[in-house]
Amino acid sequence: MTASQGNSPLWTPDALEAATGGRWIGERRPVSGASIDTRTLQPGDLFFAIRGEARDGHDFVAQALGKGAAAAVVSEGHAAKAEGPVLAVPGEGPDPVLAAMERIGRAARARTQAQVVAVTGSVGKTGTKEALRHVLSAQGPTHASAASYNNHWGVPLTLARMPEDARYGVFEIGMNHPFEILPLTGMVRPQVAMIVTVEPVHIEHFPSLSAIADAKGEIFAGLEPGGVAVINRDNPHYERLAAHAMASGAGRIVSFGEHAQADVRAHRIVLRPDLSVVDASVMGQPVTYKLGTAGRHTALNSLGVMAVVHSLGADLAAAALSLAALSPPVGRGERTALEMPGGTAWLVDESYNANPASVRAALATLSGIETGPRGRRIAVLGDMLELGPTGADLHRGLAEAVEAAGIDLVFAAGPLTRNLYEALPVSRRGGVAETSAELIEPLTRALRPGDAVMVKGSNGSRMGRIVEALKGRYPAPQTRRDSALALS
């Protein structure tokens, strides 16, 4: 998660004071980390008492200090109530503590000599970020976003956590609305900025797909002068994204994909049930590598990883070797053996999130998984959210992908996914329910040895409950982690 810090503190009291314009109350302590959540806070962390949607972090300062926080950052308005070491920060805005965290993040960016990468995209940005973390960590101290910390608090928190001695920094940047990426890329100031792809995600907040492309293109506005813009050449919005790059400080554009004009191009992709082999050229240099993962989408995203590695001037051959040993982020392709009476079934956990493009890719990957005797390929799908008035049609439209992938049974959770379920032939209908919790028992009754079952849906559909229920019912002695460049 973080580059090596050696024995040096992440931040000294003087540096924090200088970055925030704040004043210390109580003991001045160096800090070794940063946190906004007492549930995950580690001893030595600096606790930021930011205001969340439901709770104010100032209510948890005593708890944070009790868990071993080195200090807490509080607003001047709360300083008089604080007991223990705190850094009181000025400010009149809606959240002075968040503003202070942003200033510390900018200070971290200003002091580092690291080469910094920013990644966005409608699908695959977290998995691509994790792949970059993996391959770059083998070449030097690498700091990267935790989980999907890609929003207005996740990006500055990740920056604040970046050690001074990092050689590489990899930041994920997300958005739900226009102009959300712009201030975040301005904080990160990447030397390389990558757009994985543009798809109809969060479409309810945008008038068109072109508007989504424009919002993604904001990432190039933060590029350091002469930086590199990495863009998916296969995406129909390539020219629009390239125009954003050319209007920025980018020194050049590097494209990737299967397109004949792609700078990093796949000439051949061999897909096997649990791995892929990619025969590619990187700026004219032939490279062949293996991915310890299945799926065309993962192979294509790996081309973007290689484009970034080349743009950074890192070791291309070492990165190619590293790609064989990737592990998936949680909820993005982990495969688990379910040991049940009479044999084994396979669970593919894609429960983290979903949109039409990622569901199609997951279905295509499920189609390539080997099943046992009498085994079936089963898709357990929850609602895809934030699709606006076209949501029902987009769910119904997945029926063709289910047929093309040869999925034997579909279990559906949620009112939107019911549209897909009712569009399927009766022979492919496994069960339907209003919530994921109601689907657990019928799915468990239907599951048998030899089956391969894939679970996917938007976060709000809570499909992870089904994954946990299956793992709890059929515990496995080992977990197999096959896929890597995940879906969003």
Q: What is the CATH number of domain 334-480?
A: 3.90.190.20
Amino acid in the structure at residue 106: R
Ranges of CATH 3.40.1390.10 domains, the chain: 13-101
User: Quick one: 112-325 is in which CATH superfamily?
Assistant: Mur-like, catalytic domain (3.40.1190.10)
Tell me if residue 96 falls in helix, strand or coil: helix
CATH topology of domain 13-101: 3.40.1390
Tens-of-pLDDT digits for all 488 residues of the chain?
444 455 789 999 999 999 999 999 999 999 999 999 999 999 999 999 999 888 999 999 999 999 999 999 999 999 988 888 999 999 878 899 999 999 999 999 999 999 999 999 998 898 899 999 999 999 999 999 987 899 999 999 999 999 999 999 999 999 989 999 999 999 999 999 999 999 888 778 899 999 999 999 999 999 999 999 999 999 999 999 999 999 998 999 999 999 999 999 999 999 776 778 999 999 999 999 999 877 788 899 999 999 999 999 999 999 999 999 987 667 778 888 999 999 999 999 999 889 998 999 899 989 988 899 999 999 999 999 989 899 999 999 999 999 999 999 999 999 999 999 999 999 999 999 999 999 999 999 999 999 999 999 998 999 999 999 999 999 865 444 433 343 33
Ranges of CATH 3.90.190.20 domains, the chain: 334-480
Contact 233, 261 (CB under 8 A): yes
Ranges of CATH 3.40.1190.10 domains, the chain: 112-325
As a whole number of angstroms, the distance between CA 421 and CA 409 comes to: 10
Amino acid in the structure at residue 140: G
As a whole number of angstroms, the distance between CA 303 and CA 208 comes to: 27
Nearest CA among 457, 453, 454, 431 for reference residue 442:
431
As a whole number of angstroms, the distance between CA 99 and CA 95 comes to: 6
